[in-house]
């Protein structure tokens, strides 16, 4: 389903989605270029931020380009193979976002609670291992849910009440018994939802406890400022994702679910570069140096 069948609304929707997509891609590319070009930012925190930007670009690229093509061609049809591919990539990059935010919370926990051992604990090998583990786990999640959808036998001329192949809606079409379907959904939700959120909450519980023990107000502010951007992104990511699932649980209209999904899949990846650049002096300086190099060259 598209956002609207009104022909007069198609050009504004096309301009809106195209501009949002371009801002998302360009913003995340700037973050990656700023970090890779500045040796001062070659630290674990910014290494994880680069990978988060890559995951954000992949996440939004699985849905928005197809939506733009649908508006241009006035057709919202998608093939079976195309739908499975879109769903698989959506799950892969969405889970990567989820796990990388957890890894970044762990990084902040080590930096604030164990500052003297930070360089030893968060060495390049461990950072690479954490990112690789996030990717392999996300791939496993995507593969598992895709296999579940492959078991669907009545999957022809089905209308999906969203602007992309929403995994939750496709899984509801499975012909397996309800108990098996529900158990699989609960298992996936616990492994890839509850565990990462628990890790983030535990990390920040320890972080806040350590910061409150700092005697000076300036020291507490400096410690909190290093976590501000990440906390904002976490709240935005989980807040919008929770809104999508709550809207599905409350059986709201398809338009409401599509609007909630738009915030989760498009708006959040678009805002992440702004959040990290506006609240981070190091990123601002790196972007300024990058712009100066570009102009001088």
The alpha carbon torsion through 109, 114, 115, 119 (nearest 10 deg) reads -90
What would the pLDDT profile of 191-233 be if each residue is shown by its tens digit?
667 788 888 888 888 888 888 777 777 666 766 766 777 788 8
CB 125 within 8 A of CB 47: no
Q: Which of 17, 98, 103, 30 is nearest to 60 (CA)?
A: 17
pLDDT band at residue 20, thresholds of 50, 70 and 90? very high
- pLDDT at site 278: 67
* Average pLDDT for the chain: 81
What would the pLDDT profile of 50-100 be if each residue is shown by its tens digit?
999 999 999 999 999 998 998 888 888 888 888 889 999 999 998 999 899
Write the secondary structure of 84-102 as one string of H (helix), E (strand) and C (coil).
Answer: HHHHHHHHHHHHHHHHHHH
CATH homologous superfamily for 7-296? Rhodopsin 7-helix transmembrane proteins (1.20.1070.10)
Each domain of the chain, given as residue ranges in start order, spans: 7-296
CB 166 within 8 A of CB 200: no
Whose tokens are 């892969």? That residue is: 92
- CB contact set of 49 (below 8 Å; sequence gap of 6+): 31, 35, 104, 276
What would the pLDDT profile of 229-266 be if each residue is shown by its tens digit?
778 888 877 777 766 666 555 555 666 667 777 877 88
């Amino acid at each position: 389903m598209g956002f609207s069948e009104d022909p007069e609304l198609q050009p504004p929707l096309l301009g809106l989605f195209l501009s949002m997509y371009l801002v998302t891609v360009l913003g995340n590319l700037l973050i990656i270029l700023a970090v890779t070009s500045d040796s001062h930012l070659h630290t674990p925190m910014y290494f994880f931020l680069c990978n988060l930007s890559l995951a954000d670009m992949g996440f939004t690229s699985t849905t928005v380009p197809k939506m733009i093509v649908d508006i241009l061609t006035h057709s919202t049809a998608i093939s079976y193979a195309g739908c499975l591919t879109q769903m698989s990539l959506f799950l892969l990059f969405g889970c990567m976002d989820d796990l990388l935010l957890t890894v970044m919370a762990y990084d902040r926990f080590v930096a604030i609670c164990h500052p003297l051992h930070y360089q030893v604990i968060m060495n390049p090998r461990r950072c690479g291992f954490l990112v690789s583990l996030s990717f392999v786990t996300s791939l496993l999640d995507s593969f598992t849910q895709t296999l579940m959808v492959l078991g669907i036998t009545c999957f022809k001329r089905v209308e999906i009440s969203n602007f992309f192949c929403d995994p939750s809606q496709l899984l509801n079409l499975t012909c397996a018994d309800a108990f098996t379907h529900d158990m699989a959904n609960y298992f996936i939700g616990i492994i890839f939802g509850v565990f990462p959120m628990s890790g983030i909450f535990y990390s920040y519980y320890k972080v806040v406890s350590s910061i409150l023990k700092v005697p000076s107000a300036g020291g507490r502010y400096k410690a909190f400022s290093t976590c501000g951007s990440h906390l904002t992104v976490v709240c935005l990511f989980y807040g919008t994702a929770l809104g999508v699932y709550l809207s599905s649980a409350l059986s709201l209209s398809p338009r409401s679910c599509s609007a909630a999904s738009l915030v989760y899949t498009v708006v959040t990846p678009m805002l992440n570069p702004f959040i990290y650049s506006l609240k981070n002096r190091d990123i601002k300086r790196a972007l300024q140096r990058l712009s100066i190099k570009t102009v001088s060259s």
